[in-house]
Amino acid sequence: MKIKLLISLTLLLTASVAHSRVDASLTVSPNPVIVRSDQIQGSTTLSWTNEEASGVICVSIDHEEEVKLKEVGAEGTLEVTVELGKTYVYNLYSGDKERLLASVTVTVVQEKSEPPPSQLPPIAPPSPDVYPAYIYALTQDGTLKWYRHDGAQDGKATWQGPRDVATGWNKYKFVFPGGGNIIYAITQDGILQWYRHKGFETGLGSEVPGSWEGPNDVGRGWDNLKQVFSGGDGIIYVVNRDDKLLWFRHNAILSGAGLETPGAWDGPKEVGRGWGNLRAVFSTGGGVIYDITQNGKLQWYKHNGYLTGRGLETAGAWSDRIELGPWSSSTTFKQLFSAGHGIIYDLELDGTLKWSRHLAYDVGYSKPFLPPEAFGNFGNKDWLGTFQIGRGWASFTQVFALLPNADNSGVVPVDKRSTAPTGTRPGVRSTLNPQPPLRRTPNSVRQKKPER
């Protein structure tokens, strides 16, 4: 009888302990952290889940007394900096720190050797009669690939690349151009970083000294965004959780200076409302913005106040919104982006890359109006294309193209814009097919005063 009672008590205690166990996990990637031979620090990302919805993460370095790192919620991520040769133990505790829920050990090692130099032949700069688009694609493993579309002006499938120009970019939630050869990236915890790709014309990668500048931390609090896109020339638009369109301008785009430098930023300024329920939104530069609505309509906007951030309270800050018609790939596109001058790239879900050019991008439409579903060289004065120019792009997580500067020149390094005369810089072209001002609105075009 005593033996049966003891067994019953043991089973009851085991069941009670099992019932009190909390489902939680703490993982880290990458691990081990591999640091380049010329560096002593690296970074990795903690990810956690916690059934209790509250907890504390602590860290112990080289088995020393642990310190509190962060109070956390039910789930999330945190990028941490680690130092070469040290061992880090991260512990996830309950909110009262009475129970250890999960633990992970991180080691930091040095890269054994420099990667071998690329054996690919060098790529020549574009010839003077070529208007190229510089396109970047991010893979799932964090490799940033570079392409040069030498057929960007007329939609020919003429390419240079791909070339791997950087690694470790899968830590970014958003990556987008800034104007010229400037690229911005937002980390998972909302840090805005600045890069300059000096090797953008020929696809030089990080293995070539001097091909990159950065990253520089130039902003913080850039998390919890619905969408973010570039207007070129350091102008950044953000769609926040309140569906408002916010405008920023990074005046220090040339130097990569951040918040510590007075005057480095203008904004944020609220310039629109009701921008949350859109399938896609992007800019071709010069204040011209496109979006795709939930029902597949392509809409055109002109933010005349894009250089200074003038909003709805200022008369003339926006031109009338124009519904251009249904987008031909509205049910199959994965991402839309522009290389400037009305050139639009459509990345389809099946990996097909398509090219179109809105010839009337600066004014919205010409006369007579023809919607974008009338693509093709059949007398459409507003559009050229659509042409299929690539395949096999489905696996990329983000794709974007460098944007021109505000002077409507081609994509050139922004630090050369004020010193090199137009027509002498590589890749520079004047404005493509500008349209005259409009005098009347055709009945087939729906115009609206933008609330945005």
Same domain, 32 and 152: no
| 99, part of any domain | yes
Same domain, 280 and 389: yes
In angstroms, the CA 264 to CA 251 distance is 5
Same domain, 149 and 232: yes
| 13, part of any domain | no
Same domain, 175 and 293: yes
| 3, part of any domain | no
In angstroms, the CA 388 to CA 379 distance is 20
- State residue 367's pLDDT score: 63
Which of 365, 349, 213, 181 minimizes the C-alpha distance to 288?
A: 365
User: Residue 450 pLDDT > 80, yes or no?
Assistant: no
- State residue 113's pLDDT score: 60
In angstroms, the CA 289 to CA 283 distance is 4
| 128, part of any domain | no
- State residue 406's pLDDT score: 63
Q: Mean pLDDT throughout 7-22? A: 46
pLDDT band at 21 (very low <50, low <70, confident <90, very high): low
Same domain, 196 and 339: yes
| 345-395 per-position pLDDT tens digit | 999 999 999 999 999 999 998 766 666 655 544 446 888 888 999 999 999
Q: Which residue has the higher pLDDT, 328 or 289?
A: 289
pLDDT band at 15 (very low <50, low <70, confident <90, very high): very low
Q: Mean pLDDT throughout 285-300? A: 94
Q: Indicate the residue among 110, 142, 157 that finishes a domain.
A: 110
| 254, part of any domain | yes
Q: Indicate the residue among 78, 110, 142 that finishes a domain.
A: 110
Same domain, 361 and 398: yes
| 14, part of any domain | no
pLDDT band at 328 (very low <50, low <70, confident <90, very high): confident
| 258-289 per-position pLDDT tens digit | 999 999 999 999 999 999 999 999 999 999 99
Same domain, 105 and 166: no
Report if pTM > 0.75: no
Of the ranges 55-59, 153-157, 370-374, which one carries the lowest mean pLDDT score? 370-374
User: Residue 426 pLDDT > 50, yes or no?
Assistant: no
- Contact (CB, 8 A) for 219 and 258: yes
Q: What is the maximal distance between C-alpha atoms in the chain?
A: 101
- Contact (CB, 8 A) for 338 and 403: yes
What residues contact residue 87 under an 8 Å CB cut-off, 6+ apart?
61, 62, 63, 105, 106, 107, 108
Of the ranges 3-12, 24-33, 291-300, which one carries the lowest mean pLDDT score? 3-12
Same domain, 246 and 336: yes
pLDDT exceeding 90 applies to what percent of the chain? Answer: 66
| 273, part of any domain | yes
Same domain, 69 and 147: no
- State residue 127's pLDDT score: 87
**Which CATH number belongs to the domain containing residue 330 in this structure?**
2.115.10.10
Domain range for 74 is 21-110
In angstroms, the CA 69 to CA 234 distance is 35
| 165-206 per-position pLDDT tens digit | 999 999 999 999 999 999 999 999 999 999 999 999 999 999
Query: Domain count of the chain?
Result: 2
Same domain, 106 and 137: no
Same domain, 295 and 165: yes
pLDDT band at 131 (very low <50, low <70, confident <90, very high): confident
**Which CATH number belongs to the domain containing residue 69 in this structure?**
2.60.40.2550
User: Residue 12 pLDDT > 50, yes or no?
Assistant: no
Same domain, 346 and 258: yes
User: Residue 229 pLDDT > 90, yes or no?
Assistant: yes
| 11, part of any domain | no
Q: Which residue has the higher pLDDT, 443 or 234?
A: 234
- State residue 116's pLDDT score: 54
